[in-house]
Amino acid sequence: MNMNLQALTCVLVVGITPNVAKAFEFTGGVELGYSQTDTGNSDDGENLSLNGPSGSAFVTVGLEDWRATLDVNHIGRSLPAGDAFDSYAPENATAYGLHIGRQFGSAYFGGFYGKTRFQGSDAATFNGYVDGDLYGIEASQDLSFGSIFGQVGQAKMIGDGTDTAFDGLFFRVGVNANLGNQINLITGYERGSSPGIFEDEGDSGSYERFDLTAEYPFGDRVIGQVGFQMTDFQANTEDLGSETTIRVGLRIPLGKTSRRNDLKTTYLPGLAAAWAEVLD
């Protein structure tokens, strides 16, 4: 009896395992790049040109119409040794998140939760980092020329107690278009508003970014990228910080497809909270 039960169990395991493996679909990708950023703020003597590595990575597990994605996104640049970020500009920011949703034909709808590490005066070390939370909903739609996508969320990034922070809503929209000749053009716009606190405790603030990225494949698994970004950080009506960034890099798809992850976890609310300390 036990021998028969063991044999039946082995048959079931051998029979089911390949079907389960076939049911799951794994995709992912890595983006590696180098950025040059010119920063400016309302004090002209504090403008800088910064550079450093940037990148992102994601892995998606799909089961029938459902999918879950883990991702990380990073911007890095370095201030001169000994310079305080709150006197010039933030250096690094990193966001990582979990996205869960469902595919409805050519449309996708889901939600996300993430964390962002950004520079803040509450950190235990000089030019150190603190964490904040963000969450929201997202959607995308495949079209004949490519796809459109969007996200809406809430972020709470406390940089310095009750003095500087980003605490409010943000949204992001974009288009990924195939221009022919294997060239893809991705355009995006993101905006966030923190009405109750940004700098000087109760003063409001906001940020907005326009970005443009062109991609061209050099092979099945190596895709070149050139990008341009313009970002503004506004505190009330008198204080303004800005970043103009040029980026070059590579995207390396992993898994079955070379599809790009456009629904990324944004680090901009955290970067805005760090800029609030610069503008304070």
| pLDDT tens digits, one per residue of 215-226 | 999 988 899 999
Answer yes or no: is 217 within a domain: yes
Rounded Cα gap, residues 224 and 274, in angstroms: 31
Beta carbons within 10 angstroms of residue 244's beta carbon: 15
Tens-place pLDDT, residues 76-113: 998 888 888 988 899 999 999 999 999 999 999 999 99
Give the 3-state secondary structure of residue 176. Answer: strand
Rounded Cα gap, residues 118 and 75, in angstroms: 10
**Under 8 Å CB-to-CB from 147, ≥6 apart: which residues?**
140, 141, 175, 176, 262
pLDDT at 116 over 60: yes
Residue 128 DSSP class: -
Q: Give bridge partners of residue 191 from the DSSP assignment.
A: 171, 208
pLDDT at 22 over 60: no
pLDDT reported for residue 6: 52
Answer yes or no: is 9 within a domain: no
Residue 165 DSSP class: E
Residue 120 DSSP class: -
Q: Are 200 and 1 in contact (CB under 8 A)?
A: no
pLDDT reported for residue 45: 61
**For the residues 239-263, what does the mean pLDDT come to?**
93
**For the residues 104-126, what does the mean pLDDT come to?**
94
CATH code, domain with 116: 2.40.160.40
- The beta-strand segments (E) located in the chain are 24-41, 48-63, 66-75, 93-104, 107-119, 129-143, 146-160, 164-180, 183-199, 203-219, 222-235, 239-255
pLDDT reported for residue 15: 47
Q: How many domains does the chain have?
A: 1
Answer yes or no: is 12 within a domain: no
Answer yes or no: is 15 within a domain: no
Residue 79 DSSP class: P
The dihedrals phi and psi of 220, each to the nearest 5 degrees, come to -60, -30
Answer yes or no: is 65 within a domain: yes
The position carrying tokens 């459902």 is 66
Q: Which domain holds residue 222?
A: 25-279
Answer yes or no: is 124 within a domain: yes
**For the residues 50-55, what does the mean pLDDT come to?**
94
Answer yes or no: is 80 within a domain: yes
pLDDT at 158 over 70: yes
Apex 222 CA angle, 221 and 228, nearest 5: 135
Most trustworthy range by pLDDT among 48-57, 146-155, 190-199: 146-155
Residues in the chain: 280
Answer yes or no: is 14 within a domain: no
Rounded Cα gap, residues 265 and 253, in angstroms: 18
Q: What is the pTM of this model?
A: 0.89
What proportion of the chain, given as a percentage, has pLDDT over 70? 91
Tens-place pLDDT, residues 164-200: 899 999 999 999 999 998 999 999 999 999 998 998 7
